[in-house]
Structure 1
Amino acid sequence: MTGSASSASSASSASSAGREEAGEVRQEDAFDVAALHAWLSSRLPGLTGLPEVRQFGGGVSNLTYLLRYDGQDLIMRRPPRGHKAASAHDMRREFTVQRQLKPHFGAVPEMLAFCDDPAVLGGEFYVMERVEGTILRRELPRGIELDEAGARALGHTVVDTLAGLHAVDPEAAGLGGLGKGPGYVRRQVEGWSRRYRGALTDDVPDGEAVMAWLAEHQPDDVATRLIHNDWKLDNLVLDMSGPPRVVGVLDWEMATVGDPLMELGSAMAYWITADDDELYGLLRRQPTHLPGMPTREEFVARYLSRTGLPMGRWEFYEVFGLFRLAVIAQQIWFRYRAGQTTNPAFAGFGDAVRILIARASALAGAPGRTG
């Protein structure tokens, strides 16, 4: 989809090209398909025969599988093997968040079944509907084009959908219990600092200067809202057949109730644009470099206009977002180095950590920067 009618038609005809594809299941992530089917078919009538199972490779935390039954595609989510913080892989929590949120925020998949019996697959998992649409990664898929107007419209719908999520009342959605009260910013700074130290390896920076800066410059919470906590394009399912529209938001494993500006900062760590430096550009995982895409400054300004939230020093949230992303990458790099995962997509995560810590350090030393 682009801003022109001809380009919109082209994207519509190429919708299958932009569809998220799944590959073979990695050996380390295989499971007993017959056991899954026996459990699932007793809860969802009409499932006949064992499903074809494929694995999506884009995620870096919980594992996502396509269960292809005759005439029906389902999605299964479960944690990876290997030790990591249990809260990052709480399947019941992820399932419950989406089930409760669905009536208040339509861009959530329909939850179908949850299993907490380890006798089935060895741990918790859940199954949900498959949301059809396009998922964008580093480059546009073949058959989809975006001109400048289309890229800007896409950026705006990403901002506006985030603002729409943050407008949901957590209590009305039955999710107020996810929050821990005032002090969200402090808990985030302390928690991510603790995680980085706990996953530190001898080939990355110790990050102590960045952690000290965040601790010293942290603002008070500005609001308490429901947040997704991993807002980026490859977690959004898009309808690109006309004006871009978010039809599904995936990967709710880190959703919580907290300060929405912290989520804004985290989202901007992924929003790498064409004028960013070469090293940071190597980390780009979404097509935010396209001509017409909003800059980070424009994204933030539109978000604040939509939400009416006050903004103090933006550089704190920007540095926090970069550091948080570095911690996520380092936790995965720790698992990769320990042989707990062999996913080749993780082979460069040590380099990513070094780039992110260096950028966060540089921005922390540039007071007054606004995007």
Structure 2
Amino acid sequence: MKATQADLETLASLAPRERLDPWLADNVRELGDGPLIINFLHGGTSNTVFTVSRGGSQGVLRRTPLTPPPWQRQEHNARGAGPESAAAVGCTASACLCSCDDPSVIGSPFFVMERVKGWAPGLTEGDTVNMAPFDCLPYKYGVPFAMVDALVRLARIDYKAIGHADFGRPDRFLDRQVDRWLSQLDSDPELYDYPGRRIPGFDYVTDWLRANQPNSFVPGIMHGDVGLPNALFAPGPPAQVTALIDWELATIGDPLLDLGGFVHSMCDEREPCRVPQHGSLRVDDYPTRQALAPYYAAGTGADPAALDYYMVLATYECLHRGIQGAQAAIGLLPASSGCFFSGLGLRRVAEAQRIARLVEGLPVPD
């Protein structure tokens, strides 16, 4: 796709060649020693991404966007580079070539990763589009199983053995989750002079999560934002994940939350005639939640009995999408972005309430 003028302006302001060129020459020799080539790859909520090369290997540079979410302003580099190298032990992440904490180089901390070969599902309105032949049955059906395979490999990594015992705070991890997201929601007025809003079903889900929290869990590396657009896949069948990307929300916590964050978009065998509409997937041809959970359990030994809790918590955590609504309300993001993410948050909290009511045997909306 040809770069737009906006792309070129973003490239000039967020990856200034005159400062980036000497830094890469000194610190990332794998890129070669020729003229620096920078290409804008994509921009999102948590990253602005470029490809960089000097005639050798091609790297991927990730830095914060112009308007980063509040939690990322001080943590982008550490959260990006640390788990990338850790998870590479499980063959589910690209290696970090180098990182830079000095914002004077390009205006933000950043890191450079190796570029892993593979295709990434594309996002369109209301769907995630796979590359052929994975866009049709029977190959499409295997894509979610490939993602779960990657989560299994990630969960089985001994994070202490690879030097990441201090990366997160696994003690009382589940105890902190509800209060963490409530605090973030309540911070919008102070950060953005935005009154915020209460979401239908929000209080019910909050109370349900507090009452149904599992008593224990096995700590492990969490990606924190698992979804098909955050994975790269091998080009030919069978479906296989070659890398997980976008690690800015990674931590040491409960890996079952990654599973819940992925499978909540799938169909539920308790409602065989219903297709969930709260995500960015058309899941008619994908396996159900109940098919993927035992597959994960077989690879990890984890007990999938509490899957409903993790799906509810994962959808509840999408409250952080309200930040984009707050940013749009004061002009930091386009109004269309604010509407999209606000709507996404509403739909996902509604789905969280629906799952909780299914567990309790209570009526759910048609």
Specify the TM-score bucket, using the shorter chain as the normaliser.
0.7 to 0.9
1:1-32 per-position Cα deviation (integer Å, ceiling 9, x unaligned):
xxxxxxxxxxxxxxxxxxxx795527467322
Whether 2:113 is the aligned partner of 1:120: answer no
User: 2:21 is matched with which residue?
Assistant: 37
Structure 2 gaps, min length 5: 190-194, 362-366
* Sequence identity percentage: 22
User: 2:81 is matched with which residue?
Assistant: 95
1:318 to 308, 311, 321: 311
The residue type equivalent to 2:171 in the other structure is: P
1:34–1:50 Cα contact (<8 Å) kept:
no
- Cα 1:351–1:258 shift into 2, 3 Å: same
- In the alignment, the residues of structure 1 paired with residue 280 and residue 346 of structure 2 have an alpha-carbon distance, to the nearest angstrom, of 17
Query: What's the offset of the Cα at 1:271?
Result: 3.8
1:63 to 48, 61, 84: 48
Aligned-residue CA RMSD (Å): 2.9
2:121–2:131 Cα contact (<8 Å) kept:
no
- In the alignment, the residues of structure 2 paired with residue 342 and residue 64 of structure 1 have an alpha-carbon distance, to the nearest angstrom, of 20
Matches within 5 A, 1:85-234: 85-86=71-72, 89-102=75-88, 104-137=89-122, 138-141=127-130, 143-199=132-188, 201-202=195-196, 205=199, 207-234=202-229
Query: What's the offset of the Cα at 1:76?
Result: 0.8
User: 1:358 is matched with which residue?
Assistant: 350
User: 2:58 is matched with which residue?
Assistant: 73
Query: What's the offset of the Cα at 1:191?
Result: 1.0
1:42-90 per-position Cα deviation (integer Å, ceiling 9, x unaligned):
2234342242321314x42122222355464321111123361147842
- Cα 1:271–1:88 shift into 2, 3 Å: farther
- Cα 1:185–1:72 shift into 2, 3 Å: same
Query: What's the offset of the Cα at 1:174?
Result: 0.9
- Cα 1:48–1:338 shift into 2, 3 Å: farther
1:64–1:75 Cα contact (<8 Å) kept:
yes
2:90–2:154 Cα contact (<8 Å) kept:
yes
User: 1:298 is matched with which residue?
Assistant: 291
User: Structure 1 residues 297-306 or 175-184, which shifts more?
Assistant: 175-184
User: Structure 1 residues 229-238 or 67-76, which shifts more?
Assistant: 67-76
- In the alignment, the residues of structure 2 paired with residue 96 and residue 110 of structure 1 have an alpha-carbon distance, to the nearest angstrom, of 10
Q: Which has the higher contact order (CA 8 A, sep 6+)?
A: 1
Query: What's the offset of the Cα at 1:262?
Result: 2.0
- In the alignment, the residues of structure 1 paired with residue 97 and residue 306 of structure 2 have an alpha-carbon distance, to the nearest angstrom, of 43
Structure 1 gaps, min length 5: 1-20
Whether 2:333 is the aligned partner of 1:341: answer yes
TM-score under structure 2 normalisation? 0.82
User: 2:246 is matched with which residue?
Assistant: 251
User: 1:263 is matched with which residue?
Assistant: 258
- In the alignment, the residues of structure 1 paired with residue 8 and residue 74 of structure 2 have an alpha-carbon distance, to the nearest angstrom, of 21
